[in-house]
Chains A and B, each alone.
Chain A
């Protein structure tokens, strides 16, 4: 299995095998369902075989990726890098769907991916309104406010180190506290609408951002600081050319952590009181009505929102800190 051509052949055989087996399984499952017969043992076995074949394919892809030589095309490298994760996702969704069909799991317990996608397609306007209410109106302002003020206070604490020495232990203590608990208080203060959710998001992101920014601002090494000194750099230049770039990786780390925190804060705050729109409201009210497919549709939206924010930050980080060690993969 060391020659690329052999590997491609094995991969192609595996793909065909998986496709055939999956098609066969779907057809037989339909037949069993229409004839109202019991499931045969070999129908379970097929799922196992498919899983095994997919796993072999994942292994093949990841080892091929490892053995790419330096003159491999960039497109090949990137696509091989994402193949294992994509394969796992697809096979996971397939297994989820098939197992639910086989065992006839009630929708209240766990809807199948097909049910969820139907719910998404049917309720696009509701999901969009929830998205606007929770993400656009609450999460984004809260995130910007929390992270912005975290960075600002960190800059002050860096400029006046005596304040930093007091703030750092407090900040790292607060950033591991269960701050979601502040949600009911914020709902009381700022009312049911998005303002209270933005406040929770801001509070939850402030301390992690403060700690990360402070660590970043102190990341420039003594030798580099000395160099700036020998250049007789003005304070502004010193900050802009050395301190800020050195802090960038830490800032992005904080921003990435905070992107999920802000979303969590806003959604949890909606459990404590909300107008009749928003992701947290949708989840809690639809659970009560046993509309689990819509609940899962909302979860998919929130996951997409969270992954989207995270992904944008990753791209931004790649652009802004292309020189950093962690971005330069060999």
Chain B
């Protein structure tokens, strides 16, 4: 059954990407290697090896990034400022706080939209417009302004995360709360159920699959928000700060490793949501 599963094609695609990466590393780094080699002509194989071992390559080879990640996660103490785990933690805490804020706000808004026609008609277009504003572009300003009136640390980053994550949750939740079909709603009505009972016994259970699907998007958006929120505060800490300091000092290996750890953190958050989903949906009998 291996041929019908996704794992074999996926492995092939990833292997192909890594091969392309190695080849690209050689061609992109060739100028730097020529400069480093100077007058003596390296053989082809030596040339390739040099291209994969540069200190500040244009594109680091995959194994260089792997070694850097290993060194800065397993190789360093977790409290050290050089540890990527420490920086990932600095990013994940505002992500989590912002995601929870966005989740609560998004769900409350969705419940309001479903229950009140006026809220639906007046606010829904505004929400869509709010997302066409590139909030990430003004994220630095929010951080600076909130810092000026005394809010520093977690909260500014969390607010950006919340702003980014509430939208998919609201949209998904509105869809989910409206997903019970008219027959089920009629049944609730013939039971003389109140609006509240209808919400908690029918609409919310019916919305769970939609909620979790949009939570996965929302949590990824929250992570992006937290990373970008770190850029303007300078290199104080966090994955965004690692990216920034890496780009200031031309440390490409550091940038790539921060990028991969950010991707891993995103995958971890999505897996956590999936875990909660399995638990909750098992309880809800789905």
Contacts and interface: CB of A to CB of B under 8 A. Distances in A.
Interface string A106-118: 0011100000000
A323 to B, nearest CB: 22
Given A166-B9, A166-B12, A178-B223, A87 B134 contact: no
A151 interface: no
B122 to A, nearest CB: 4
Contacts of B14: 166, 170
A250 to B, nearest CB: 16
B118 interface: yes
A68 interface: no
Contacts of B263: 177-178
Contacts of A164: 9
Interface in A254-312: 259-260, 263-264, 267-268, 271-273, 279-280, 283-284, 287, 292, 295, 299, 302-303, 306-307, 309-310
B27 to A, nearest CB: 12
A11 interface: no
A184 B243 contact: yes
Contacts of A177: 220, 262-263, 266
Interface stretch (A19-27, A35-43, A185-193, A236-244): A185-193
A169 interface: yes
Given A178-B262, A284-B232, A62 B118 contact: yes
A159 interface: no
Given A62-B120, A85-B125, A178-B227, A271 B12 contact: no
Contacts of B243: 181, 183-184
Interface string B246-264: 1100101001101100110
Given A178-B223, A303-B129, A306-B132, A169 B137 contact: no
Interface in B215-244: 216-217, 220, 223-224, 227-228, 231-232, 239-240, 243-244
Given A180-B227, A302-B137, A85 B121 contact: yes
A61 interface: yes
A94 B244 CA distance: 39
Q: Interface majority SS on B: helix, strand, loop or mixed?
A: helix
A50 B220 CA distance: 40
Contact of A260 (B8, B131, B148, B216): B131
A180 B136 contact: yes
Contacts of B220: 176-178
Nearest to A108: B148
A16 interface: no
B133 A109 contact: no
A109 B146 CA distance: 8
**Chain A interface mostly helix, strand, loop or mixed?**
helix
Contacts of B137: 263-264, 267-268, 279-280, 283, 299, 302
Contact of A178 (B123, B132, B266): B266
B10 A165 contact: yes
Q: Most chain-A Cβ atoms within 10 A of its Cβ — which of B117, B121, B135, B239?
A: B121
B267 interface: yes
A58 B121 CA distance: 8
Contacts of B258: 181
A55 B11 CA distance: 57
Contacts of B144: 287
B252 A169 contact: no
A167 interface: yes
Contact of B255 (A110, A167, A184, A309): A184
A178 B141 contact: no
Interface string A220-231: 000000000000
A181 B138 CA distance: 17
Given A178-B224, A178-B266, A58 B129 contact: no
B270 interface: yes
Contacts of B259: 178, 181-182, 185
B118 A272 contact: no
A84 B14 CA distance: 50
Interface in B97-154: 117-118, 120-126, 128-129, 131-138, 140-141, 144-145, 148-149
Contacts of A248: none
Interface in B13-71: 13-14, 28, 58
Contacts of B279: none
A162 B9 contact: yes
Contact of B132 (A59, A260, A271): A260
Contacts of A108: 145, 148
Contacts of B140: 271, 283-284, 287
Interface of B: 6, 8-14, 28, 58, 117-118, 120-126, 128-129, 131-138, 140-141, 144-145, 148-149, 216-217, 220, 223-224, 227-228, 231-232, 239-240, 243-244, 246-247, 250, 252, 255-256, 258-259, 262-263, 266-267, 270
15 contacts: A62-B122, A65-B121, A85-B126, A87-B122, A109-B149, A176-B216, A178-B224, A184-B255, A268-B136, A272-B244, A283-B138, A295-B138, A299-B138, A309-B132, A310-B128
9 shortest A-B CB distances, which residue pairs?
A166-B9, A184-B247, A306-B132, A166-B13, A84-B122, A176-B220, A62-B121, A267-B137, A84-B121
